[in-house]
A and B are shown apart, each in its own frame.
Chain A
Amino acid sequence: MHLIQTMAALSEEVLLVVKKVRQRKQDGTLYLMAERIAWGPEGKDRFTVSHLYADTRCQKISPDGKAKIQLQLVLHTGESTTFHFSNDSSALKDRDAAKELLQQLLPKFKKKANKELEEKNRMLQEDPVLFQLYKDLVVSQVISADEFWANRLGDTNHADPSLSNNKQEVGISGAFLADIRPQTDGCNGLRYNLTADIIESIFRTYPTVKEKYCENVPHNLTEKEFWTRFFQSHYFHRDRINTGTQDIFSECAKQDEQGLKSMVVQGVKNPLVDLLSLEDKTLDEGYGVCTTLPSTSNSNRSVKESSNSAIIKRFNHHSAMVLAAGSRKGETPANQASETSNTDGNSRDSVFFQPPVKKVKLKEAIEYEDLQRENRPKTVALNLKKSDRYAHGPVPLQSQQYTTSQDIINSVNYIQHEMVNYKPNLTQVLSSTTASSAIAALSSGGVLMQAATQQAINQMVPSEVQGELKHLYAAAGELLRHFWSCFPVNTPFMEEKVTKMKSNLERFQMTKLCPFQEKIQRQYLSTNLTGHLEEMLQTAYSKFHIWQTRRMLRKT
């Protein structure tokens, strides 16, 4: 695949140079550039290792305290490259500098390039026709890869502009905290593995932690200290109860609790799930069979019980926050809260205002969809027996345009109706001789059936040629699509493109169509298989000429 662009190392900006880095037991220098990381052995001016950031999945570093200070790059292909920092005095510093920089650089590329590449790859894999086109046009260098994709990806974007413009945000895994399972390091300690993704998840789910982070790191605490405290806090351990006030996270817990409370106070929008208003009339205090409920006062509850209920509370809160983090798009939760409270305020202003939600929900609840005849416009199920025939495009059978399938049904009904009410007009029928001559003309071999040679071609042409023809059609269609999509030509860019497309078409005709023509002429002299293709190309050329002459006229 010609997607991996070769890059000239000359014009690149070098962001970081680290000397004394070993790779495969060879000393050398590590270069971090704007778009790639490279390593060259000492004394040579050539890189033996070069990875685009876009190809890199992640970096790993050796744990503190290990004898070797290393940094490993893992590529999307699964391969990995390990660099060993061997400068005695500053190895750790060097490594951390490289790590920091990579940390900043990698995510940028991860999002952009990678996705595109994957997308292209996927499209090619999923669509064999497209793959063939790619081979015909790009590999044979009729058009460049960029041109090919420019139009393709543009297409998908046009199909759903909302998707491309603001990309759907990726939600957060509900179990991101579970992924930081601690591991014992063998000497009474715990190790937590944090990745950038997890940190982002934590920040997005718990904005209060992010606040704390911004407040304290790096002025008061190092990053490491911060996370150590985080993992020690009751906040992380949901079954621990907030006891001390020393903890910087106790405030977070309080804020969370407040947030939870305000959510609860706001109430729910869907009246059908509002348990508070479920009951019409509750029994007055003192009436009713009193089932021994656990008393609500906290003093009576054992520590275990209150820790249990803390777990439950925090699970609810966690799930709510994860859900909210997935649905808010750049908005802060505070914004959202104020928004909803605004609408709530409205409803309180006018006592009689009932949110339409209720009506809709009630309607939904009493709906029996299967008891009703379907009311929506009827559609016709498309039942393709030969999908290739469908793909060949429209056949000029009906001149009129049907807009909806309802129309089709109507007209079918109309025709049926006509048929039922058909009465032969016996005074105006054809005479028997004319009728029989008409039938003869319409039978095979008749005057009117001369054109029906399709069958013959099918049998005459070997399947391999047919396949080739198919490819040619597809390729020509693609190019023509590019060409015609330039009209109306109203920007300089379009002008340029249309000219280029015309030359692409010509090149196609020269490199692909003509050899094919010669080939079939050698074998089958009689049939003109490429006539239609040429016709299409000619139409395009003449269109181009018309456009060109007009442009000339306008210019003069």
Chain B
Amino acid sequence: MLNIEGLLVHFPYDYIYPEQYSYMLELKRTLDAKGHGVLEMPSGTGKTISLLSLIVAYQKVFPLEVSKLIYCSRTVPEIEKVVEELRKLMEYYSKQTGESNNFLALALSSRKNLCIHPEVSSLRVGKEVDGKCHTLTASYIRAQRHSDPDLPVCRFYEDFDAVGRQMPLPAGVYNLDDLKDFGKRNGWCPYYLARYSLMHANIVVYSYHYLLDPKIADLVSKELTKKSVVVFDEAHNIDNVCIDSMSVNISRRTLDRCQTNVETLQNTIQKIKETDATKLKMEYRRLVEGLKEANVARETDVYLSNPVLPDEILQEAVPGTIRTAEHFVGFLKRFLEYLKSRLRVHHVVQESTPQFLKDIFDKVCIDRKPLRFCAERLRSLLRTLEIADIADFSAVTLISNFATLVSTYSQGFTIIIEPFEDRTPTIANPVLHFSCMDPSIAIKPVFQRFQSVIITSGTLSPLDIYPRILDFRPVTMASFTMTLARTCLCPLIVGRGNDQVALSSKFETREDFAVIRNYGSLLQEMSAIVPDGIVAFFTSYMYMENIVAAWYEQGILENIQRNKLIFIETPDAAETSMALEKYQEACENGRGAILLSVARGKVSEGIDFVHHFGRAVIMFGVPYVYTQSRILKARLEYLRDQFQIRENDFLTFDAMRHAAQCVGRVIRGKTDYGLMIFADKRYARADKRGKLPRWIQEHISDGSLNLTVDEAVQLSKHFLRQMAQPFRQEDQLGLSLLTLEQLESEEMLKKISQIAHQT
């Protein structure tokens, strides 16, 4: 039982890290102020449990102030971990208070992780599961079944629909598997049960998309109460998630598929017209009345949602030009032809949304207003036509979403049409990129609607850039260090080879043999002295491929193989998963292994290398994003004009957050230890180094700024020998691990107040 400025918090452990206490303190102040916060705390210092403990305690004491916690994380394993920690907390609560818990906490994930229908779930691929589910549960299909009982049915959904809603989910903590178990026992669909229970659950854990992707958020998270605390964990990439959810790419293939879609639509309309003309008339009348019905959209029709639904659209009626089905199909055709003509370019075109709108009006007389209603109109049409397999219509849905987006936002987006890929200028492959440049557009509704939004991660440095690019005003911004009884991380900047050649991944020296060879000897020497696992990250996949090939030719890889097995990330996720598992196996059985991987890749974002799975991480080069991309250039320009962030600052910030992510993978707690080797001389510069998280930065000594390979090996040997000594709990107690008594001492509280680094 901790006392956080008057709030009694149950903490389910015997001891506490000082930074956890400090973190809770800052968090409580943020909640008290009903504002937003940005908090950086190293991974492995129990961030999640601190968050959960404090917010649950807050909810219990002030149920009227905070009624719900929405915890967003990035990956499915992360989500499940959070729920397991929550379960631990709740068990502790009921043990301490002696009464059964009345909290309902659940995880929500996509259908592929929750479906229990034997046929549907066997599809395994997200999109297919969604599509199949839709063909069984869409509202009009179920309506059809009244007349034709032979149609296939999902009994889990039917049972849930019949009785599931009357009886709320009993209190408790439900992970994905628990939901499936519960669903199986009662014969209810776990997915819809979870979505329904979202509304009255005290704690919801799900992925970013349910809040940030307007296509999904509008249906799943729309009715969540204002008095919620939203937490974005692992939020260092949140701006990219926002941008991704609002951007659209249209290739010639998309347009071709769209063409078939439109033809199918036309034929279906023709058919219906001959058999059941009243249906279309009904629809027309409905559209005249306005889109109020969109407000009460059936929950099962997720697939038909539109990207953004500005409020005014819901009040207005669909414009006359696209009100009848035939007119709308004609309208779509015209729009399609226009897009096709735009893709027939020989040089790169870049324009703003107003320019695009003006051009489309000049060329094919399409007005802004009908474009805005395009997504909604298509949704209505697809429902009216009772089209079962909605997945087939993804192309036309994409186009209409694009139409709505392009006509809704005049700022923050850019349109780039590229006739070919830069690397293959001879092969025509025109793509229209409609690219969002302003992450604040997608996240704005979240900041506006919920009273407290916490953005947190192990690597959020520099903190002040996030409020700027996400356009919000936080009440607290703090970075916490890791208090350590022993310095368990050892960041080294290797700037030179043994032959004094400067090491760098910068473009000019990328092909330089001396650099590649020195990188190779660095890895080789490290493989000889580091026990168990080593993870190495390259700046891009191409770069890694080239270096691996060069190393193979020079026989470096074979020398490395004398010490450890080599596994390499590939673009294929399944192959990489296997390599990863084998890598862990090799670390487990003592043989030792090296994993060559890519910054910004899946491994660097989602896989932890705890303890012996990663005793050293080597970052070959500075992971700058591919700067020649036009989309990136446009975004940089936008950032400069709108937020006064200089291009270089942003690029460095972006590179350093990825580098920090990569090297941070190896330290997952205070009992863990690992080397962090930055193999590029540019890391020594203050502008790079200064953008690393504080908990890494403060361990870089001046002496380790520009090491040669040999010097780095010497330092590493020394470090590893020290770390191999036994490390007991007693060694930590009082320094980086506190008992309740120690925590309450005056002196310690003073020390703790220095842990948080306010900006």
Q: Give me the interface of A with B, judged by CB distance under 8 Å.
A: 171, 173-175, 177-178, 181, 238-239, 260, 263-265, 267-292, 294-296, 300, 304-305, 307-309, 311-313, 315-316, 319-320, 322-323, 326-327, 348, 351-352, 354, 358, 362-363, 365-366, 368-374
Contact = CB atoms under 8 A, between A and B. Distances in A.
Contacts of A312: 545, 548, 568, 570
A178 B629 contact: no
Nearest to A286: B398
14 contacts: A174-B562, A175-B561, A238-B552, A239-B552, A264-B574, A264-B575, A273-B577, A283-B244, A286-B249, A291-B629, A352-B180, A366-B84, A368-B669, A371-B16
Nearest to B240: A289
Contacts of B591: 171, 174, 323, 326
Contacts of B394: 284-286
Contacts of B567: 315-316, 319
A269 B398 contact: no
B263 interface: no
Given A286-B395, A319-B566, 9 more contacts: A273-B581, A275-B580, A277-B113, A281-B109, A294-B423, A312-B545, A327-B589, A352-B181, A374-B729
Nearest to A288: B244
Given A239-B552, A309-B545, A173 B77 contact: no
B573 A276 contact: yes
Contacts of A295: 421, 424, 429
B549 interface: yes
A360 to B, nearest CB: 11
Contacts of A174: 561-566, 591
Contacts of A171: 591
B476 interface: no
A316 B594 CA distance: 11
A256 B76 CA distance: 32
A8 B424 CA distance: 80
Nearest to A177: B558
B577 A275 contact: yes
B14 interface: yes
Contact of B244 (A274, A287, A348, A365): A287
Given A309-B545, A309-B570, A371-B737, A175 B577 contact: no
B424 A300 contact: yes
A368 B46 contact: yes
Contact of B578 (A263, A326, A351): A263
B421 A239 contact: no
Interface in B101-154: 109-110, 113, 116, 118, 121-122, 126-127
B431 interface: yes
A287 B207 CA distance: 17
A281 B577 contact: no
Contacts of B180: 352
A371 to B, nearest CB: 4
A288 B584 CA distance: 32
B502 interface: no
Given A281-B126, A288-B244, A369-B671, A178 B421 contact: no
Given A291-B629, A292-B421, A351 B606 contact: no
B292 interface: no
Given A268-B578, A366-B84, A278 B602 contact: yes
A263 B581 CA distance: 11
Interface in B53-105: 75-77, 79-81, 84-85, 88
B577 A268 contact: yes
A322 B564 CA distance: 11
Contacts of A351: 116, 118, 121-122
Nearest to B431: A290
Nearest to A282: B126
A295 to B, nearest CB: 7
Given A178-B555, A286-B248, A280 B75 contact: yes
B732 A370 contact: yes
B565 A362 contact: no
Contact of B110 (A280, A326, A358, A368): A280
Nearest to A176: B561
Nearest to B739: A373
Residue picked from B113, B573, B582, B671, most chain A C-beta under 10 Å = B582
A307 B608 CA distance: 30
B139 to A, nearest CB: 21
